[in-house]
Amino acid sequence: MEPIWLKSYQPGVPSTINPDAYPNLNALFAEAFAKYKELPALTNMDQVLTYAQVDAQAKDFAAFLQNTLQLPKGERVALMMPDIMQYPIAMLGILRAGCTVVNVNPLYTHDEFIVQLRDSQASTIVVLENFAHIVSDSIAETSIKHIIVAKISDVFPPHKAWLVDVVVRYIKRMVPAWKFDKFYWYKDAIAAGQQTVFKPVAIGSDDVAFLQYTGGTTGPPKGAMLTHRNMVANVLQASAWMSKLLVPRKEIIITALPLYHIFSLTANCLTFIYYGALNVLITDPRDKKTFLKQLKKHKFTAITGVNTLFNLLLNIPGFASVDFSHLKVALGGGMPVQKVVADRWQEVTKRPLLEAYGLSETSPAVCINPMNLKSYNGTVGLPVPSTDISIRDDHGAEVGLDVPGELFVRGPQVMRGYWRQEDETKLVLSADGWLNTGDIATINAGGFISIVDRKKDLIMVSGFKVYPNEVENVLSSMPGIKEVAVVAAPDEVAGEMVKAFIVSSDPSLDRDKVRAYCKLHLTGYKIPKVVEFRDSLPKSNVGKILRRALK
């Protein structure tokens, strides 16, 4: 497809970037830490670390992995933490040691944790103690050999750390019981690293930086292999896109999306390190009072989120009194931004809520709306620099303007493939680098992309992917369920919710029992919010349940 979108680029935004400007992410970080060493880099719970402090601690953590644990280059290290300062420090240390980061959702159940840890073959995990019980209950079924446990109090001075520990463990009871035969405290790991000499590791641009687990475009979770070149490219693409708006050393970004989510990881963490920004980490966005306090405390210039996060903010009492005079960028992604939310956001903040589009498989940015857009336009924007798109029909032929078709993407940000799943990779990634996104889209005369629908039956709950097969497999194992089908249903808060249609052989079975069973095996957002019992389910002439008819 001809790059008709280039004519709609904001003046001064380049059509291409050089993905080989840095040999790896570590080189990009080294430049940033040298330039911004005196500036504040991270703040969380009113504690602050400078770029120099983050750099030093990341190097110490890398030395610990290299010397104490003796992890070889390419070893997978799992990170299982919410948005706290230990996450970016550990992440930077893992990459510096030449290892691969495996992001793990700390809300995973035992079953989900086992699937990802087994597949990734991670030998080491860094986990916040609040979630250590999940690891301790499951470790025997994984390849984990080394455990590093962080505490919320790690970032506080000693006199305050003791009080935080008491509150977290004994008053709020936020730490379920856990036990390991052997483990390292995060602070001890940093201290041990200080006593050893870190030896720089030769890292190639095609080495895997992140295993980012996703449902992909088909089937169960798979690890998208995102190389150092992929991630450098997407950081440079995003920074080029915002270069006429953002100023190095001057930005403050609010990070409320979890950093283990690819949108937040690249957009908030990596790109804003490149800009020398202060990253305000919001550990629990559901704590509205604390969230609002942080928004009022900082003269923030950027915020990202999914539609549900922006909707949550708009409904916090007192949100309209926040000072938005410094806000430059409000960027929505991970799920469709609803017009009613975007319009209300602009009414309250006097700034537009811009929409972007991406995938775990694309590091993630594919399209972003121009930064000089004055209001929400209902599209996901234009392909970012060095990105090609093609919209094709079922026969592989490109369709015309405003005609729905399957969206294909090619660019330096497209993954190397799925980890240990060559056949699955071939289903979505061609030999000449085209990624089949599995999404149905249109392109207009200005080159703006609109996502029409998702191929097949993918359900998006607050930006997180839910595959019906996974939920159906859990439900079908429940005694009393004869047949089941799971589909997406609209939800005013989450965009979509999971709805289950059940044919039961047990008259006593009800919604509460079904949901209670699911809670044992599924993360919260995957649990059916609505359960409908039926005498039968619609089927095709070969006996296949017709989800489309149920939707």
Q: What is the pLDDT along the chain (551 residues), one digit of tens a residue?
A: 999 999 999 999 999 999 999 999 999 999 999 999 999 999 999 999 999 999 999 999 999 999 999 999 999 999 999 999 999 999 999 999 999 999 999 988 888 899 999 999 999 999 999 999 999 999 999 999 999 999 999 999 988 999 999 999 999 999 999 999 999 999 999 999 999 999 999 999 999 999 999 854 445 689 999 999 999 999 999 999 999 999 999 999 999 999 999 999 999 999 999 999 999 999 999 899 999 999 999 999 999 998 889 988 998 999 999 999 999 999 999 877 888 889 999 999 999 999 999 999 999 999 999 999 999 999 999 999 999 999 999 899 999 999 989 999 999 999 999 999 999 999 999 999 999 998 889 999 999 999 876 667 778 899 888 878 788 889 988 999 988 999 999 998 889 999 999 999 999 999 999 999 999 999 999 999 999 999 998 875 434 678 878 98
Question: Pick from 183, 170, 164, 159: which is nearest to 68 by CA?
Answer: 183
Cα gap 94→73, rounded to integer Å: 10
State whether residue 521 is helix, strand or coil.
coil
Answer for the pair 497, 488: CB distance below 8 angstroms, yes or no: yes
Cα gap 428→441, rounded to integer Å: 16
Which residues lie closer than 8 Å to 24 by C-beta, 6 or more apart?
203, 204, 205, 207, 209, 228, 229, 232
Name the packing angle between helices 51-63 and 86-96 (round to 10°).
Answer: 50
**DSSP-assigned states of every residue in 281-330:** E-S-TT-HHHHHHHHHHS---EEEE-HHHHHHHHTSTTGGGS--TT--EE
State whether residue 410 is helix, strand or coil.
strand
> What pLDDT shows up at residue 218?
46
- Amino acid in position 255: T
Cα gap 4→446, rounded to integer Å: 7
Cα gap 233→365, rounded to integer Å: 10
B/e letters for 323-333, b = 16+ CB within 10 Å, e = fewer, are: ebeebbbbbbb
For the CA atoms of the chain, what is the radius of gyration? 23
> What pLDDT shows up at residue 273?
98
Name the packing angle between helices 51-63 and 25-35 (round to 10°).
Answer: 140
> What pLDDT shows up at residue 454?
65
The two structure tokens encoding residue 524 = 């919260």
Answer for the pair 347, 340: CB distance below 8 angstroms, yes or no: no
What is the number of other CB atoms lying within 10 angstroms of the CB of residue 21?
Answer: 12
State whether residue 518 is helix, strand or coil.
helix
> What pLDDT shows up at residue 214?
86
Angle at the Cα of 80 (from 79 to 83), degrees rounded to 5?
100
What stretches of 317-467 show up as alpha helix (H) in DSSP? Answer: 339-349, 422-428
> What pLDDT shows up at residue 534?
95
What is each CA distance from 25 to 92, 94, 236, 266, 425, in whole angstroms? 9, 12, 11, 11, 24
Give the residues across from 357 on adjacent strands.
367
